[in-house]
Amino acid sequence: MNFRVIGVNHNSAPLEVRERLAVPDAQLPDAIRSLVQQPGVDEGMVLSTCNRVEVVASTKQAADLRGFLGSYFGVSPAVLNGHIYEFEQRDAVRHVFRVASSLDSMVVGESQILGQVKEAYAVARGLGAIHSALEALLSRAFAVAKRVRSETAIGSSSVSIASVAVQLAEKIFGSLEDKTVYLVGAGKMAELAARHLIAHGATHVIISNRTHERAVELAESFGGRAVPFDQLHETADHADIILTSTGAAEPLFRVEHGERLRKGRRNRPMFFIDIAVPRNVHPDVNKLDGMFVYDVDDLQAVATDNAGERKKEAERAEKIIELEVDRFASRMKSLAVVPTILSLQEYCETIRQAEIDRIRGKLGTITPEQEAAIEAMTRGIINKLLHTPITTLKSSTDHPEAATIHEMIRRLFNLNTGKPKE
């Protein structure tokens, strides 16, 4: 068993690369299935958010995850190589813990990532791609995330994308009073950002979504108005702030739309918050007079600015993570010897039963008391013989030569051949 993580995030790769790797929700099951069909991959899950695309897997040594990433997404290794990170074992465990605890987030301490990891985990589990190893890793990761959140103040002053968006909107519009927010796409992130903007004074909300019912539902909760998705461009000029988060593969707003909006709005400024990956607003729209386009990477740049005060809390969180990684590693190691102990006991038990069966014929009729005595004696011998190997196995998990000891015992008792190959 081998934990491995491979992927890209907002630090390692520019948006252009992340866009090419992003897995839409609908495609996620397919990606997971292809992953676990890779030779050497025992278990696996795929995490794809605005800021990261990661494969977490439990593999045999030889599994080629990098090759999978390249071939599945049709991206050449030359493009990937500079941007990809890869972790194994302890480092992989640490990385998963850090991601779940939001220490690796664009906005450190934001709480959305934990939900996203949980969702990715649930999808993979539903497909039967997760068994004992990843199960142990992920459930521990969720516990660690909870611990980090409750023991540090990292989440309390969390400057989420939403509040960065508010801060920028205020830099443009001064007060948000009387301003109109237009949600294009009605995902959770967009909803959260909209709530922030409203809390800071934005007065009108318009929502457009491919699934119109969802837009209507959200419009009701905001006291806003839902617009059918095909009327998006006719109605967009009402908006001061446009918040896009759809899964569209091509930009919804391009320069020509921007030009038209600018005329329709008589040059009043307009703020595009584009949290979609791939982007919903073409970056060139930002070049138009009075049009401001911020994608997730740009929001990060601003968020990093605010991150200073949270740095101390993040350091404390890192210490917790380090401790938890140690604990998890030693637990995994002791877990690793459990099958050996079991098969050792099983092996001896088989021998004992065989010997009893063989001797029974020679003994003739025996009383139940005698039968019980034989049973007790043979068990006693086996337990005493096994006592030292088992305690050695259990206590040696932290020993530098643990693996050698483990392997030696398996060989001495011939435990490797008896098992059917998986």
Partner 1 sequence: MLPLFWLRVALSLYGVGLLYALASFWGGRKVLTRITLPAVGLGMVFHFVSIIENAMFSGTWTPTSMHGLESLLAFVLMVFFFIVYARYRATSPGLAVFPLVFWLTFSASSYASPSEPAAPIFVSLQWIYVHVALILIGYSALFFSFIASILYLIQERNLKSKTGMHGFWSRLPALATIDEIGFKCLIWGFPFMTLGLIAGSILAEARFGTRYFADPKILLSGLMWLVYMVLLYTRWNAGWRGRRAAYLATFAFGAAVLAWAANNFSQTHRFIAP
Catalytic annotation, residues:
50
User: Quick one: which of 121, 182, 292, 328 contacts partner 1 (CB under 8 A)?
Assistant: 292
**Helices assigned H by DSSP within 227-294:** 232-235, 255-264
Residues in the chain, total:
422
User: Shortest Cβ distance from residue 148 to partner 1 (Å)?
Assistant: 26
Q: How far is the CB of 294 from partner 1 (least distance, A)?
A: 7
What are the start-end ranges of the H helices in 174-272? 188-199, 212-222, 232-235, 255-264
Q: Smallest distance, Å, CB 44 to partner 1?
A: 36
Candidate segments 70-78, 288-296, 332-340, 391-399, binder of partner 1 by CB under 8 A: 288-296
User: Binding of partner 1 at residue 342 (CB under 8 A)?
Assistant: no
Question: Are the C-beta atoms of 402 and 410 separated by less than 8 Å?
Answer: no
Scanning 125-133, 291-299, 348-356, 359-367 for contacts with partner 1 by CB under 8 A, the matching segment is 291-299
Q: Which of residues 161-190 bind partner 1 (CB under 8 A)?
A: 167-168, 170-175
Long-range contacts of 257-263 (CB under 8 A, 24+ apart): 257/233, 257/285, 258/285, 258/288, 258/291, 259/288, 260/233, 261/236, 261/237, 261/291, 262/288, 262/289, 262/290, 262/291
Does 283 contact partner 1 by CB under 8 A? no
Distances (CA, A) of 3 to 6, 30, 363: 10, 21, 54
Distance CA 416, CA 178 (A): 73
- Alpha carbons 116 and 113: distance in angstroms, whole number: 5
Shortest Cβ 205–partner 1 spacing (Å): 20
Residues 6+ apart with CB under 8 A from 71: none
Q: Which is nearer to partner 1, 171 or 379 (CB)?
A: 171
CB of 271 to partner 1, least distance (A): 9
Q: Which two tokens stand for residue 402?
A: 């643990």
- Identify the residue among 290, 343, 392, 405 touching partner 1 (CB under 8 A): 290
Residue 301 binds partner 1, judged by CB under 8 A:
yes
Interface residue with partner 1 among 90, 210, 238, 265 (CB under 8 A) is: 265
Binding site for partner 1 (CB under 8 A): 167-168, 170-175, 265-269, 286-287, 289-290, 292, 294, 298, 301-302, 304-305
